[in-house]
Structure 1
Amino acid sequence: MAQKRIRWKNYNKIANDISEKNRQKFNELNITYKKIESDVKKINELQMSNLDLENKISNMKAISVKQNGEIFRLSNEPRSLKNRKRMIPRTVSMKNGKRFISAVQLSHPHLLQLSQPEEDRCVVLERQFVELKNETETIQVGMTELKTVN
């Protein structure tokens, strides 16, 4: 009987040791599983972030292409304005009621200097629109006064 008790104690001790080792392994597996889940979540977040960044990059490239086109257009605009300036007459006469006003285009393409000889007055105007019906008719100019020189 004493041997049975010793064997039973040894059996229980071995069983408890095995159970404890199993619990430790189970806990280690749970910890590892939680780490894997956490890593998978981080990977998914990084993939989503990567997709967002790729979308932003593609949008920025599209904007860049559009702005490069705008820059190209604007860089060519001074040439076209210079060419247009050559086509507009330097001195024109406009009928304003009964008075005739002499208009001289200044160096800036949107400015006209008007002089009224009978009043001895000179006005610099910003041209907002010019309508040229034909060479023999009057040129109509919509203007805003910038400064008056006496």
Structure 2
Amino acid sequence: MRRPASTASNPARLKLIGFRILLLGLVVLVFAFSRAWGKLETRRWPTADATVVFSEVVERSGKTREWCVQVGYRYSVAGGRQGGAKRWECSASRAGAEAKLAQMQPGQHLEVHYDPARPERSVLQAASLDAIDAFIGALALVLAAVGFDRIRQARKLAATA
């Protein structure tokens, strides 16, 4: 009985694996780019004056337990009344969340960033890239490099065969 050739000695199969890994890397790269672009886009949004309507501490549990400050606010853009309820910041301790809550009392004025194309979309703080964004970007680059390497190895193997 004849055994199928291993991947290491089969250039066509190695090349196919390389293309699949490369394609996966490109998909992850597109995801990373769209995630980062969405975050960085909020930095370019215009700002509006908003008034806090309500604020409260909300307990969130899952794998970890944390307390988040939820803030409801109203703002006006071009005469149209907008509004928003956002989870603002989270803390591992209730005391930490309570300290943040003290900064967001009803009636207080604050500045929000809003999407000029869709003014009902807003954020309290413009987002910035974080460690997860860096990890996803690095993963995409590693997958692309491994894919290219497999394709290169397949070409070398085919040339020596």
Query: TM-score normalized by structure 2?
Result: 0.28
Which has the bigger relative contact order, CA under 8 A and spacing at least 6?
2
Query: TM-score normalized by structure 1?
Result: 0.29
Larger relative helix fraction:
1
